[in-house]
Amino acid sequence: MMTKSEKMAEWILSISYEKIPQNVIQIAKQQLLGMLGACFAGSTTIGGKILLETIKGYESKPDASILPSGVKTSVLNALYTNAAFSMALDYDDYLCTVHTGTSSYSIPLALGEKLDISGKEYLTCLIIGNEIEGRVGLAVYPPGEGQMQSFIHAAGGAAIAGKLLGLSKEELINAFGIALYQAPLTIPVGFWGPHSKLLTSSIPAKIGVEAAYLAKNGFSGARTIFEDPQGFCKYMSEANFEKVLDSDLGKAWVTLSLSFKRYPGCAYVDSIADALFKILEKVEKEGKTLDYHEIESIKVSNSLLSTMMDDMSRPFTHIEEIKRVKSPIALNFYQPYNIAIILIDKKLTPEQFTMERITDPEVHELAKKVEIAPDIGMSAKSAQIVPYGDIPKPDFHLGKWDFSKWKMYCGCKIIIKMKTGEKWSAKVDIPMGAAGGKPYPMEKKFSQEAKLVGMEDSQIEEAIQMINNLEDYAIRELIKLLVVN
C-alpha cells in the first residue's frame, strides 16, 4: 500500500504549470503580490531590521537576495529572512484557516534565484507549497492554532525544494520524513508580541529545504512519517484526519480558498477596519465629524474565535511590555488598539505600528473604551468556515468542498456611542479581500508597501506588470526589479 508521503511525492513530481487551472494561477499571482507587500512592510519593523543586520553578519555564499534591500546571502538565509519579514506585521494571507503564504512565496523565490528558474516554475512551486501545506494544516485538529501551525512550513519546504532540486520519488519521501521528524511546535507566549514570532515559518521552512538537500544526497527519513502509529498525525492531531493529506491532489485546489489581508493584523482586524471605515464614511456623508474625544463607548461583537484571540494577546498589550519587546505584534491581535488607532489616525497601515504610535498613551486610553463580546450568530457562522465534521465521514474527499466558493466568515458589528447620545454602527460579515468577500486587488497592497520602502512609481508599475505576466519572465528578472537601492 502506498504511503501518504509516496502519494504526495508522486503528485509533486507529476505536476507542471500546464496542468494547473488558470483560476488557480491567477490567484497565486495575487498571492505573490500580497506577500511581497507584506515582506516590504515587515522589513521596516524593528524586528525586521535586527534580523537583516544579524543575517548580514553571517558568512554565506551569495546565492539569493533578501528583499527589498537586495542583500545577497545563502538560499537558506534569504528564505528565512523574507519569510520573517512577511510574518512581521501579521499581514500574510491564509487558505481555509491555514497560513501557507510566508513560506510558499519565499522558498521558491530564494531557491529559484539560485537555480535560475522560470516564472512558470515559480508559480508551480508556490502552488505546490499551498496545496501540501494546506492539507497538512487541515490534517491537524483542533485547528485553533492558525498561524501557529508552523510545522506546515517544514512540509512545504521539503515539497518545494524537492521539486526544484529534482528529487526522485524515494528522495522526496525521505525529505518529508526528515522535515517532520522534529515537527516544530510554537509556544504561544513567544507568539504574542516579541520578535520571536517573526520566525514562525522561517525556522520550519529552512528545516524543510535542508531536508530536501539531505535527501538528495541519500539521507533517509521515515517512510510513513504522516500516518504511522508513531507518526506526525498521531502525535500532533487530536482527530484522525490524515486522509486529507493526499486527498484529490491536482483535482481540489485549496489555493482557491485564499483570503488576502488589506490591513496588517489578524483576519478579524480586517473586519473591524472595514466596519470602522464604513462608519467614518457615513459620518462624512452626513457632513459631520467623529471627534474621538467625544466617544463614550465602543461596543464590538464578533465570533468566539475572535474574542479568544483578543484574550490571548491581551496580557502583552500594555505599553511597558511593548517598549520591552520593541514590537507591535501583540497589537495585531488586540482589537481595542486597532479600533482606537483607526479612529485617531483615520487609517490602518504599517505606519500605525511604529514605536511612536504603538506606545502613544492617547491611543491606549481610547482603547480602554472598547468592549468586546462574542455574538452567538457570528460564532455559529465562523465555526462553519471549515466544516471539520465532514472529514470523518467515510466517503469524504476534499473535492466535496468547493474551494472556489469558500466563505471566510469572521465578521463583526461595531456600535460607537457618543457622549451626546448619538450612535454610529456598522456590520461586516466577510472582510474585503477575504474568500467570499468583495475582492481587494493585491496590486494596491503591493503599491502601498513598495512606496513605503522607497520604490519608484515606474518600478512599481513594471513589477506589477511582470508578476501578472510572470510566465514570460525568469525569476531572476523579477528579483532584480524588486530591489530598492
Partner 1 sequence: MVTVMDRFQNFVAKIGQISQMIKKLSGGEVPDFINMSLKANLSINSKRFTLILSPTEPAFVEGHDPFTEFEIIADEQFWHDVFDGKYTFFGGYTRGLVEIPNFRPQRFKVFYISGMLSMLQSLKMKF
**Binding residues vs partner 1 (CB under 8 A):** 142, 144, 238, 301, 304, 307-308, 311-312, 314-315, 373-377, 379-381, 383-384, 387-389
Minimum CB distance to partner 1 smaller for 1 or for 187: 187
CB of 192 to partner 1, least distance (A): 9
Kindly give, in sequence order, each residue whose CB lies less than 8 Å from that of residue 148, ignoring residues fewer than 6 positions away.
186, 188, 191, 200
Nearer to partner 1 by Cβ, of 243 and 261: the residue is 243
Task: Indicate if the alpha-carbon torsion angle 289, 291, 297, 301 is positive or negative.
Answer: positive
Report in angstroms how near the CB of residue 319 gets to partner 1 at its nearest: 17
CA separation for the pair 440, 403 (Å, rounded): 18
Residue with cell 518545494: 160
Backbone angles phi, psi at 372, to 5 degrees: -110, 135
- Give residue for cell 499551498: 130
CB nearer partner 1, residue 2 or residue 376: 376
Shortest Å, Cβ 377 to partner 1: 5
Closest CB to partner 1 among 289 and 384?
A: 384
For the bound state, the minimum distance from the C-beta of residue 392 to partner 1, rounded and expressed in Å, comes to 10
Nearer to partner 1, 300 or 467 (CB): 300
Residue 407: CB minimum distance to partner 1, A? 13
**CB of 91 or CB of 337, closer to partner 1:** 337
d(CA 336, CA 370): 6
Cβ proximity to partner 1, 253 vs 409, nearer residue = 409
CA distance linking residue 253 with residue 100, whole number of Å: 13
Smallest gap from Cβ 264 to partner 1, in A, equals 23
Q: How far is the CB of 379 from partner 1 (least distance, A)?
A: 7
Q: What is the DSSP string of 246-311?
A: TTTTTTS-GGGGEE--SSSS-HHHHHHHHHHHHHHHHHHHTT----GGGEEEEEEEE-HHHHHHHH
Q: For 357, what's the count of Cα atoms within 13 Å in the CB-facing half-sphere?
A: 18
**CA–CA dist 3, 438 (Å, integer):** 40
